[in-house]
């Protein structure tokens, strides 16, 4: 047997096997384009044919490199590119590449950069060939302005923060979008327009008040720039608030503008755990009625108007120790004093937050017990007739704002320190100046303590003197710039806290009434 590779015509013979092997003509293209290009037998391997098969033209090519153009050759192609650079308030910053045939317009740049973040001021600054140009951008408008390749486009930033506090909204700090109105921010925070609310706005040093139902027209046309403080107060109460045993219950009148005495009595299980007591009703900060157990029987349909505060005062039995407040209420029958530790062992208390309990003795004396002083607790005896009151801790907070992800309130727990609070609020070490963290321990109007926590975020240790233990009401401010002026910080903190404190005026008034202060 014999194998012949035939390149010319040969005579065919019997029993001859013929294997036809096609000849492939191709080149490898690398560089900005990676592809294998095949050619027909009669096609010429040259630059114009390769570019045609790639759908490219000469004006798009930056370089076309090869050693030889024959089957199996490698061709390296680089394509000309249009590009610009973005910085500032764009969602994407860096180099943006465009196809050579694609015009570089402002709208195309904004699209490729995925728009702007919430700090965009509405102005773009274009830098090219030692010149600059400022362009104002409007929302939902198309900009076909042609931009030269190599231009640097900076989206200018502007702070637009709304500090929102009060009732009927989710409290917090809201970053407004470009051309966003204050009314839109309120709606995003869950505000439902109603004449029950008054909206107080502090902006550019001025304080203005608006009716919660009529404010839409004005606040819809109020753009946001810098910092705006908003406090929403409920000026018309349509509920009936009931206080008993340290807890608060709310009844909403259904069809009328009042509820009945029996509605109130049954909603809190009467005078339990005591047998007798007094029901005092307040409206507009004045006492308007007083009822006892006989009134509940003889006059159950007595009207209690909406907006009233109702306080249940339970009678003390001198053969019992009564436990009230922020725990399960109970009466402990005894004729002899009982150790406080024995009573505490029966109570469901959140020991992480509970620092004090109050003793109201039968002779009228008051004593506050510090639960952190463990050694002294064993020596305290509770006499029959004493009311052990566990104060609520739900309104104990530490305030933190500035360069943190979740500014606002952090529930206080015993042992909470500055670094733990910063972790809970979420600090961005890239923007926060951690060598100058301000801690206010005596309110916003007193100079703060300056803490250097930078070493901790760099993996080092922080002295205990820098990682302070916190108390309820402490304020932490994380600045953005190491040169932040303490006076400016105090002004910002004071503005924030004045609005925050005002938002709880209603709560404090209620609390003073029902506790008899």
Give the pLDDT score at 516: 43
What is the per-residue pLDDT across 317-351, written as a single tens digit (0 to 9) for each?
667 788 877 777 777 888 889 999 888 888 877 77
| Residue 187 in domain | yes
| Residue 20 in domain | no
Question: Is the CB of residue 502 less than 8 Å from the CB of residue 200?
Answer: yes
Last residue of a domain, one of 335, 365, 390: 390
Last residue of a domain, one of 128, 157, 186: 157
Give the pLDDT score at 408: 76
* DSSP tag of 78: E
Using alpha carbons only, what angle is made at residue 120 by residues 158 and 141, rounded to the nearest 5 degrees? 135
- Under the phi-then-psi rule, with left for phi > 0, alpha for psi from -120 to 50, and beta for the rest, what region is 515? alpha
> Of 64-68, 403-407, 427-431, which gets the smallest average pLDDT?
427-431
- Mean pLDDT, rounded, for 200-212: 87
Distances in Å between the Cα of 440 and the Cα atoms of 343, 398, 432, 443, 447 are 37, 10, 18, 6, 7
| Residue 12 in domain | no
Which among 450, 447, 452, 449 is positioned nearest to 490, based on CA atoms? 447
**403 and 497 inside one domain:** yes
| Residue 15 in domain | no
Q: What's the residue count for the chain?
A: 517
CA distance 230 to 503: 10
pLDDT band at 273 (very low <50, low <70, confident <90, very high): confident
> Of 24-28, 219-223, 321-325, 418-422, which gets the smallest average pLDDT?
321-325
Give the pLDDT score at 395: 56
**502 and 430 inside one domain:** yes
**54 and 139 inside one domain:** no
Give the pLDDT score at 322: 80
Q: Who wins on pLDDT, 21 or 165?
A: 165
| Residue 464 in domain | yes
Sheet holding 366-370, edge to edge: 330-333, 320-325, 387-390, 356-360, 366-370
- Mean pLDDT, rounded, for 396-421: 82
In degrees rounded to 5, what are phi and psi of residue 409? -105, 140
Count of the separate structural domains present in the chain: 6
Give the helix ranges, DSSP H, for 472-504. Answer: 486-503
**401 and 495 inside one domain:** yes
Give the pLDDT score at 235: 77
CA distance 421 to 399: 9
Taking 60 as the threshold, does the pLDDT of residue 400 lie above it? yes
CA distance 51 to 58: 8
CA distance 67 to 74: 8
Question: Is the CB of residue 176 less than 8 Å from the CB of residue 120?
Answer: no
Question: Is the CB of residue 309 less than 8 Å from the CB of residue 514?
Answer: yes
| Residue 63 in domain | yes
Return mean pLDDT, the chain: 82
**370 and 425 inside one domain:** no
pLDDT band at 517 (very low <50, low <70, confident <90, very high): very low
- Mean pLDDT, rounded, for 300-307: 91
Give the pLDDT score at 247: 64
Which among 299, 294, 310 is positioned nearest to 253, based on CA atoms? 310
Give the pLDDT score at 344: 87
Give the pLDDT score at 8: 72
- Mean pLDDT, rounded, for 472-494: 73
- Mean pLDDT, rounded, for 217-236: 84
Question: Is the CB of residue 196 less than 8 Å from the CB of residue 236?
Answer: yes
CB-hemisphere CA count at 13 Å for 256? Answer: 8
What is the per-residue pLDDT across 362-391, written as a single tens digit (0 to 9) for each?
777 888 888 888 788 888 999 988 888 887
Q: Can you give the pTM of this predicted structure?
A: 0.42
**86 and 137 inside one domain:** yes
Helix (H, G, I), strand (E, B) or coil at 448: coil
CA distance 398 to 161: 20
Question: Is the CB of residue 412 less than 8 Å from the CB of residue 398?
Answer: yes
What is the per-residue pLDDT across 35-76, written as a single tens digit (0 to 9) for each?
999 998 888 899 999 999 998 888 778 899 999 999 889 999
**417 and 497 inside one domain:** yes
| Residue 108 in domain | yes
Give the pLDDT score at 154: 92
CB-hemisphere CA count at 13 Å for 59? Answer: 4
CA distance 333 to 345: 16
Domain range for 290? 240-314
Contacts of 162 (CB under 8 A, 6+ apart): 173, 174, 175, 176, 182, 185, 224, 227, 228, 230
The CATH number assigned to the domain holding 365 equals: 3.10.20
pLDDT band at 515 (very low <50, low <70, confident <90, very high): very low
Q: Who wins on pLDDT, 396 or 77?
A: 77
Taking 50 as the threshold, does the pLDDT of residue 30 lie above it? yes
Instruction: Spell out the SS3 assignment of 324-376.
Output: EECCCCEEEECCCCEEHHHHHCCCCCCCCCCCEEEEECCCCCEEEEECCCHHH
| Residue 122 in domain | yes
Burial-class residue 174 by CB neighbours within 10 Å (0-12, 13-18, 19+). Answer: buried
The CATH number assigned to the domain holding 170 equals: 3.10.560.10
**409 and 494 inside one domain:** yes
CA distance 285 to 298: 27
CA distance 349 to 52: 81
DSSP 418-441: HHHHHHHH-B-TTT--TTSEEEES
CB-hemisphere CA count at 13 Å for 479? Answer: 22
What is the per-residue pLDDT across 132-158, written as a single tens digit (0 to 9) for each?
899 988 877 888 888 888 889 999 887
**271 and 356 inside one domain:** no
**493 and 426 inside one domain:** yes
**430 and 499 inside one domain:** yes
Contacts of 47 (CB under 8 A, 6+ apart): 64, 69
What is the per-residue pLDDT across 81-113, written as a single tens digit (0 to 9) for each?
778 999 988 999 988 988 777 889 999 999 999
β strands within 32-68, DSSP E:
35-39, 61-65
Handedness of CA 269, 274, 278, 280 (dihedral sign): negative
Distances in Å between the Cα of 511 and the Cα atoms of 18, 234, 243, 310, 507 are 106, 16, 9, 11, 6
Question: Is the CB of residue 89 less than 8 Å from the CB of residue 97?
Answer: no
Q: Who wins on pLDDT, 5 or 200?
A: 200
pLDDT band at 316 (very low <50, low <70, confident <90, very high): low
What is the per-residue pLDDT across 484-500, written as a single tens digit (0 to 9) for each?
566 666 666 766 665 55
**138 and 164 inside one domain:** no
Last residue of a domain, one of 348, 370, 390: 390
402-440 exposure pattern, b = at least 16 Cβ within 10 A, e = fewer: bbbeebbbbebbbebebbbbbeebebeeeebbbebbbbb
Give the pLDDT score at 5: 66
Which pair of structure tokens corresponds to residue 101? Answer: 């045939």
pLDDT band at 512 (very low <50, low <70, confident <90, very high): very low
What is the per-residue pLDDT across 445-462, written as a single tens digit (0 to 9) for each?
788 888 988 877 666 777
pLDDT band at 514 (very low <50, low <70, confident <90, very high): very low
Give the pLDDT score at 372: 81
Share of the chain above pLDDT 70, in %: 88
């Amino acid at each position: 047997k014999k194998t012949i590779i035939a390149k010319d015509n040969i005579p065919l013979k019997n029993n001859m096997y013929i294997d036809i092997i096609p000849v492939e003509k191709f080149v490898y293209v690398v560089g900005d384009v990676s592809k294998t290009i095949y050619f027909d037998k009669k096609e010429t391997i040259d630059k114009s044919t390769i570019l045609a098969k790639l759908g490219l033209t000469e004006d798009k090519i930056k370089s076309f490199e090869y050693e030889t153009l024959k089957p199996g050759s490698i061709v390296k192609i680089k394509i000309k590119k249009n590009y610009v650079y973005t910085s500032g308030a764009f969602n994407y910053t860096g180099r943006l590449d465009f196809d050579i045939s694609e015009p570089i317009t402002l709208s195309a740049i904004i699209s490729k950069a995925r728009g702007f973040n919430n700090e965009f001021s509405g102005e773009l600054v274009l830098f090219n060939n030692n010149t600059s140009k400022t362009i104002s951008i409007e929302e939902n408008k198309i900009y076909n302005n042609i931009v030269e390749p190599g231009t640097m486009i900076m989206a200018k930033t502007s702070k637009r923060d709304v500090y929102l506090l009060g009732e009927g909204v989710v409290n917090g700090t809201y970053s407004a979008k470009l051309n966003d109105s204050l009314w839109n921010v309120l709606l995003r925070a869950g505000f439902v327009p109603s004449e029950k609310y008054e909206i107080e706005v502090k902006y550019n040093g001025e304080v203005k008040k608006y009716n919660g139902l009529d404010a839409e027209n004005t606040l819809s046309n109020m753009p946001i720039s810098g910092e705006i403080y908003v406090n929403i107060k409920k000026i018309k109460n349509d509920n009936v608030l009931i206080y008993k045993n340290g807890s608060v219950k709310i009844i909403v009148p259904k069809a009328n503008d009042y509820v009945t005495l029996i509605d109130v009595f049954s909603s809190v299980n009467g005078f339990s755990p005591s047998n007798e007591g007094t029901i005092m009703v307040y409206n507009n900060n004045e006492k308007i009625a007083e009822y006892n157990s006989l009134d509940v029987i003889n006059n159950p349909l007595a009207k209690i108007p909406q907006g009233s505060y109702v306080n249940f005062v339970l009678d003390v039995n001198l053969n019992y120790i009564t436990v009230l407040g922020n725990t399960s209420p109970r009466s402990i029958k005894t004729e002899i004093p009982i150790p406080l530790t024995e009573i505490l062992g029966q109570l469901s208390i959140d020991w992480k937050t509970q620092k004090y309990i109050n003793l109201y003795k039968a002779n009228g004396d008051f004593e506050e017990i510090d639960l952190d002083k463990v050694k002294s607790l064993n020596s305290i005896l509770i006499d029959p007739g004493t009311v052990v009151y566990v104060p609520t801790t739900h309104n104990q907070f530490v305030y933190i704002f500035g360069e943190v992800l979740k500014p606002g309130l952090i529930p206080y727990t015993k042992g909470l320190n500055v670094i733990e609070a910063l972790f809970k609020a979420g600090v961005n070490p890239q923007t926060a100046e951690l060598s100058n963290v301000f801690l206010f321990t005596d309110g916003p109007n007193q100079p703060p303590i300056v803490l250097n926590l930078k070493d901790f975020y760099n993996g080092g240790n922080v002295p205990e003197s820098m990682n302070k233990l916190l108390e309820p009401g402490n304020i932490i401010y994380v600045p953005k710039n190491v040169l932040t002026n303490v006076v400016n910080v105090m002004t910002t903190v004071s503005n924030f806290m004045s609005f925050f404190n005002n938002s709880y005026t209603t709560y404090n008034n209620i609390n003073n009434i029902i506790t008899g202060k």
